[in-house]
């Protein structure tokens, strides 16, 4: 029997969808027989789950016929206790990207503006466009840092939200405490300023702000944090904001009901319990970051200072060729065509191989590649 041809589809979707860029996830590494392949394209934690956390998740899976605790009360109370804030100043979501969507939903009507640095986290333009809001992208400085003075100058009557990504994904530098303070003094107090600290645990710069203290002093500031990176729970989707009223309550209103699974809630609590062990892994990754950074700089690459679990290689027009060279060596990096490649700090062997491929690539292109 032959199927009827599909009828043409006349449904009306929102015009704003045309301006929504698709999220390009880090490619998985294709398995090969000749080399072990490594995925260093998504800033994931290369360590497998801690046995204690895995055990809690196994236990929790036995109740997955039930909806999770919709108020995420146990986890919120636990986070609040760690940070010395009130439990109702914590608002959770399906990863911090989920919370980011909630933040845009509660602040922006169509046509309102969201200011953020560019290049920065590629989820930003997506969530902003989905809300029908307008992105105002402020170029990074030549050393790949936020230009906070230019960002303050970009604020208009339509600005409702500002995103400050520190350390910045994909380039790595942090904003400094003094420049952030100056910036917050310049921003109108009715604009919500979000400090996205996805890589907070990897920061070793003494000039980085103590964001909780900044938050306490500024009613319009919210912090965005995640269990996906240092805590190694990327696959479970849980993140949170630290926010003052009325932002925190609004964020809870905008959350997907029952979005954060019980597995994720329980795993996050178990990970906070085990943070001593996780800290050792973070320290090891920071050590590896320093090793990779130093090696790439010694090869002549102009890698910006990084306080995250990745390095940025400013390859410009050579970006895609470099990504191909990495692919051939069994390494999947995250290229941004014409700009550069973000390479996550992974297993020691993956890091060794990155250094090796980068050295060979530089040799083959002459000394001015990526300078
Ligand atoms: C990885 C990342 C996040 C976290 O994403 P989740 O949704 O929590 O997994 C948030 N912000 C930035 C800048 C990131 O790089």
Same fold, 25-48+275-365 and 51-273: no
Identify the DSSP state of 172. Answer: -
Q: Residue 329 and residue 315: Cα distance in Å, rounded?
A: 18
Q: What is the pLDDT of residue 32?
A: 87
Given this model, what pLDDT does residue 217 score? 98
When pLDDT is cut at 50, 70 and 90, the band that residue 29 belongs to is: confident
Q: Please state the rounded mean pLDDT for residues 283-289.
A: 98
Q: How many residues does the chain have?
A: 371
Provide the pLDDT confidence category of residue 367 given band limits of 50, 70 and 90. low
Question: CA dist 37 to 31, 92, 224, 326, 347, Å?
Answer: 6, 34, 32, 10, 11
The closest residue, in CA terms, to atom 12 on ligand 1 is: 198
Residue with the smallest CA separation from ligand 1 atom 11 is: 198
Q: Please write the tens of the pLDDT for every residue from 226-280.
A: 999 999 999 999 999 999 999 999 999 999 999 999 999 999 999 999 999 999 9
Ligand 1 center to 94 CA (angstroms): 11
For the chain, domain boundaries? 25-48+275-365, 51-273
And the tokens for 291? 């090793």
pLDDT digits (tens, 9 = 90+) for 104-154: 999 999 999 999 999 999 999 999 999 999 999 999 999 999 999 999 999
Fold of domain 25-48+275-365: 3.90.1150
Ligand 1 atom closest to the CA of 239, numbered from 1: 8
**C-alpha of residue 199 to centroid of ligand 1, in Å:** 8
Pocket of ligand 1 (CB under 6 A): 43, 95-97, 121, 165, 169, 196, 198, 226, 228-229, 234, 239
Ligand 1, atom 3: closest residue by C-alpha? 198
CA separation for the pair 119, 146 (Å, rounded): 9
Ligand 1 center–CA 225 separation, angstroms: 8
- Cα 228 to averaged position of ligand 1 atoms, centre (Å): 7
Is there a contact between 120 and 336 (Cβ–Cβ < 8 Å)?
A: no
Query: Strand, helix or coil at 41?
Result: coil
Backbone angles phi, psi at 118, to 5 degrees: -145, 130
- CA 345, CA 324: separation in Å to the nearest integer? 18
d(CA 69, CA 207): 39
pLDDT computed for residue 5 by the predictor? 84
**H or E segment at 326?**
helix 319-328
Q: Which of 94, 120, 164, 169 to mutate to test the pocket of ligand 1 (most atoms within 8 A of CB)?
A: 169
How close is the Cα of 71 to the center of ligand 1, in Å? Answer: 22
Distance between Cα 198 and ligand 1 center (Å): 5
Probe residue for ligand 1, chosen from 79, 93, 95, 120 as the CB with the greatest number of ligand atoms within 8 Å:
95
The tokens describing 25, both together, are 């996830």
User: What predicted TM-score, i.e. pTM, was given to this entire model?
Assistant: 0.95
Question: By alpha-carbon position, which residue is closest to atom 2 of ligand 1?
Answer: 198
Task: Point out the ligand 1 atom lying closest to the alpha carbon of residue 43.
Answer: 1
Domain 51-273 in CATH 3.40.50.2300? no
360 Cα to the center of ligand 1, angstroms: 32
Q: Among 172, 363, 209, which residue's Cα sits nearest to residue 286?
A: 172
* Three-state DSSP state, 242: strand
Question: What separation in angstroms does the CA of 202 have from each of 43, 83, 173?
Answer: 12, 17, 11
CA of 178 to the centre of ligand 1 (A): 25
């Amino acid at each position: 029997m032959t199927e009827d041809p599909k009828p043409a589809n006349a449904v009306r979707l929102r015009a704003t969808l045309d301006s929504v860029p698709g999220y390009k996830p880090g490619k998985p590494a294709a398995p090969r027989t000749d080399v072990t392949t490594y995925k260093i394209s998504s800033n994931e934690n290369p360590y497998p789950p801690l046995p204690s956390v895995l055990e809690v998740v196994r236990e929790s899976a036995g109740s997955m016929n039930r909806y999770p605790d919709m108020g995420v009360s146990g986890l919120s109370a636990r986070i609040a206790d760690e940070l010395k804030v009130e439990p109702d100043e914590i608002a959770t979501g399906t990863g911090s990207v989920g919370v980011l969507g909630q933040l845009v939903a509660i602040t922006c009507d169509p046509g309102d503006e969201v200011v953020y640095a560019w290049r920065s986290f590629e989820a930003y333009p997506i969530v902003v466009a989905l809300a029908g809001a307008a992105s105002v992208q402020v170029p990074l400085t030549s050393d790949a840092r936020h230009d906070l003075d230019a960002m303050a100058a970009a604020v208009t009557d339509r600005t409702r939200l500002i995103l400050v990504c520190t350390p910045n994904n994909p380039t790595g530098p942090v904003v400094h405490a003094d420049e952030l303070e100056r910036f917050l003094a310049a921003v109108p107090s009715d604009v919500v300023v979000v400090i996205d600290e996805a890589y907070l645990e990897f920061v070793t710069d003494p000039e980085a702000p103590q964001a909780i203290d900044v938050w306490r002093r500024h009613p319009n500031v919210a912090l965005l944090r995640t269990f996906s990176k240092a805590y190694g729970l990327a696959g479970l989707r849980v993140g949170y904001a630290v926010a003052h009223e009325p932002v925190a309550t609004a964020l809870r209103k905008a959350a997907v009901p029952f979005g954060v699974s019980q597995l994720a809630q329980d795993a996050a609590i178990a990970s906070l319990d085990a943070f001593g062990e996780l800290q050792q892994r973070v320290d090891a990754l920071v050590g590896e970051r320093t090793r990779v950074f130093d090696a790439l700089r010694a090869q002549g690459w102009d890698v910006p200072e990084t306080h995250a679990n990745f390095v940025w290689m400013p390859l410009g027009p050579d970006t895609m060729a470099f990504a191909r060279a990495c692919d051939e060596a069994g390494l999947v990096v995250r290229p941004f065509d014409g700009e550069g490649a973000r390479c996550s700090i992974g297993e020691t062997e993956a890091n060794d191989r990155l250094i090796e491929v980068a050295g060979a690539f530089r040799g083959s292109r002459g000394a001015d590649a990526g300078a």
